[in-house]
Amino acid sequence: MVAPEATTQIVKIPRTAIKPGPWQPRKRFDADVLAELADSLRSRGFLAPIKVVSARDGGFLIVAGERRWRASAIAGIAELPCVVIDSAADDAALREIAILDNLHRLNLRPGEEARAVALLVGKGAAPRDVAKGLGKSETWVTQRLAIASLPEAALTRLDNGEITIEEARALSKLSGYPELLDA
């Protein structure tokens, strides 16, 4: 994995030159939350720049900050503050940045957390290192890994609030009963 280097300089990039990157662990974007973020961007501006990498078409792909990018469109902001990450970084490094950025932010659903942690560990990171990098306990990482083993239907129910994280943890121990997990 090539360690990504980011410039320390924040540059303004036209919103229209930026597209979502494939590394985003967040799958759903709540319209009300985006509207609130758009209001905040209008009144206070960006508290953190968006992290991007140069794309082959001459534009940029988002590594971290897709919610801010989406909210900037709602707010009518034409240029966004960005930090450009070294384009020599490989997909695994860019995915790690995207996941870590999202796990540190508010409103990532438990199933999304579980999928993101499983991706990091699946790409060779040790659970202990993931925990340290996130500022979480190894127990938290282990629990998310167990939840990530659930079928997609169960993770969707968790993300929709139909089951709690405690129920998901209990279900992760019932691997012999797949019909319960898919219901």
Give the helix, strand, coil percentages of the chain, each rounded to 5: 50, 15, 35
Of 5, 66, 96, 167, which one is the catalytic site residue? 66
Strand order in the sheet with 11-14: 11-14, 79-85, 50-54, 60-64, 18-20
CA angle 158, 123, 145 (to 5 degrees): 30
CA distance 40 to 123: 36
Q: Catalytic residue at 36? A: no
CB 33 within 8 A of CB 107: yes
What count of other Cβ atoms lies within 10 Å of the Cβ of residue 180? 10
What count of other Cβ atoms lies within 10 Å of the Cβ of residue 3? 10
Catalytic machinery residues? 66
